């Protein structure tokens, strides 16, 4: 490789060696500063350097017709400062080239994973098709920025979407990008949604049943025309489980010796165990199995209940708790655990929350 002192005059006069497609000229006054001269007459500034494995690499600085020698050397100094701290410019370019489109990542990886691991994957698909993909589907993963996430969040809100819908989209986007980082997708190391705060839902009211409320409710439940309602509500209140998890519970998943209930398929797609109190064990033992696989069999269909709203609504109205939702039983159980010394981490595991923030809201 010929060595010359590269200045403006030299850059203009240097020619590609005869018979060669291109010739590289190494500057004698700036270590690694290089000019490539091609047979076509084109000229480009490069920086020649050693990577972490002592391999000789070249990174393009600029076309010689666009910058002066002095300007190109300033770019070379900036590149060197990055290389010194371990930021290889060629590696950065490679990651950028290989970073997938958000839409490609969703269709080829995220949705396949969600179908196998999330019962609610169809809900994810709906939010993706209607909101996230139209907004970010054409962006590469490394192009989704904090500013873009913030703009998306406020645009949804300004269009009149409910706070819950806006927050669900942010949570889903954060989860998808976290998986991309976990799976080491090129070009993305930090989640831009991590710093985005969820909207505060002013209409959301957390209700926690007092001892008086519970006594009033259970007094009515004993007289319900639904023979299983008392046991179902007891299990909801004493486990913090979701309504569908209780209605679909099977005898085979109750371990009376260890006092544990296995929920094999949860909302997140992962199984979890819930401890059972002596009171709940006694309630379950009082329910006849009669060869049924379900804990709570609907006598009209011989299948699990699809809905118990009518009998529940009647009971809460009579008990003077018209605004009490079944999900409030879950909130009440979480409050009971914390007030009795259980840590948020323990509550998180029992409730099957993937994030501690969700548990804190309870």
pLDDT of 315 reads 96
Does residue 68 share a domain with residue 28? Answer: yes
pLDDT over threshold 80, residue 199? yes
Which residue, 97, 118, 153, sits at the end of a domain? 97
Does residue 239 share a domain with residue 311? Answer: yes
Does residue 357 share a domain with residue 220? Answer: yes
Over residues 29-51, the pLDDT tens digits come to: 999 999 999 999 999 999 998 88
- What is the spatial distance between Cα 193 and Cα 146, in angstroms, rounded to a whole number? 6
pLDDT band of residue 204 (cuts 50, 70, 90) is low
pLDDT over threshold 70, residue 339? no
Average model confidence (pLDDT) across the chain: 87
* Residue numbers of the domain that contains 126: 102-182
Does residue 109 share a domain with residue 79? Answer: no
pLDDT over threshold 80, residue 234? yes
Low-confidence winner among 172-176, 333-337, 348-352 (lowest mean pLDDT): 348-352
Over residues 163-193, the pLDDT tens digits come to: 989 999 999 999 999 999 999 888 788 899 9
pLDDT of 268 reads 67
**For position 348, which CATH number holds?**
1.10.443.10
pLDDT band of residue 91 (cuts 50, 70, 90) is low
State mean pLDDT over 291-304.
91
């Amino acid at each position: 490789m010929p060595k010359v002192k590269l200045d403006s005059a030299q850059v203009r006069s240097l020619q590609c060696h005869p018979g060669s497609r291109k010739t590289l000229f190494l500057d004698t006054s700036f270590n690694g500063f290089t000019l490539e001269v091609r047979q076509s007459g084109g000229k480009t500034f490069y920086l020649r350097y050693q990577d972490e494995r002592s391999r000789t690499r070249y990174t393009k600085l600029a076309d010689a017709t666009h910058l002066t020698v002095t300007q190109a050397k300033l770019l070379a100094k900036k590149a060197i400062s990055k290389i010194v701290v371990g930021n290889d410019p060629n590696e950065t370019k490679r990651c950028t080239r290989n970073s997938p489109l958000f839409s490609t990542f969703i269709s080829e990886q995220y949705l396949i994973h969600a179908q196998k691991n999330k019962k609610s994957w169809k809900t994810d698909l709906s939010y993706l098709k209607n909101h996230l993909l139209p907004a970010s589907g054409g962006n590469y993963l490394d192009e989704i920025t904090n500013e873009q996430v913030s703009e998306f969040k406020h645009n949804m809100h300004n269009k009149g979407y409910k706070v819950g819908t806006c927050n669900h989209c942010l949570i889903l986007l954060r989860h998808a990008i976290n998986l991309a980082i976990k799976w080491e997708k090129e070009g993305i190391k930090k989640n831009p949604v991590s710093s985005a705060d969820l909207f505060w839902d002013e209409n959301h009211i957390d209700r926690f049943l007092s001892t008086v409320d519970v006594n009033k409710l259970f007094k009515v439940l004993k007289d319900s025309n639904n023979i299983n309602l008392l046991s179902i509500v007891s299990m909801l209140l004493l486990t913090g489980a979701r309504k569908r998890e209780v209605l679909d519970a099977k005898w085979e998943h109750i371990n009376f010796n260890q006092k544990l209930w296995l929920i094999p398929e949860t909302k997140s797609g992962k199984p979890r165990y819930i401890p059972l109190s002596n009171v709940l064990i006694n309630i379950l033992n009082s329910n006849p199995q009669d060869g049924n696989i379900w804990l709570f069999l609907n006598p009209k269909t011989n299948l699990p209940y699809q809905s118990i709203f009518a009998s529940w609504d009647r009971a809460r109205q009579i008990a003077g708790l018209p605004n009490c939702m079944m999900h409030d039983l879950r909130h009440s159980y979480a409050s009971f655990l914390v007030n009795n010394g259980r840590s948020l981490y323990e509550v998180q595991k029992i409730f099957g929350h993937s994030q501690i923030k969700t548990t804190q809201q309870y």
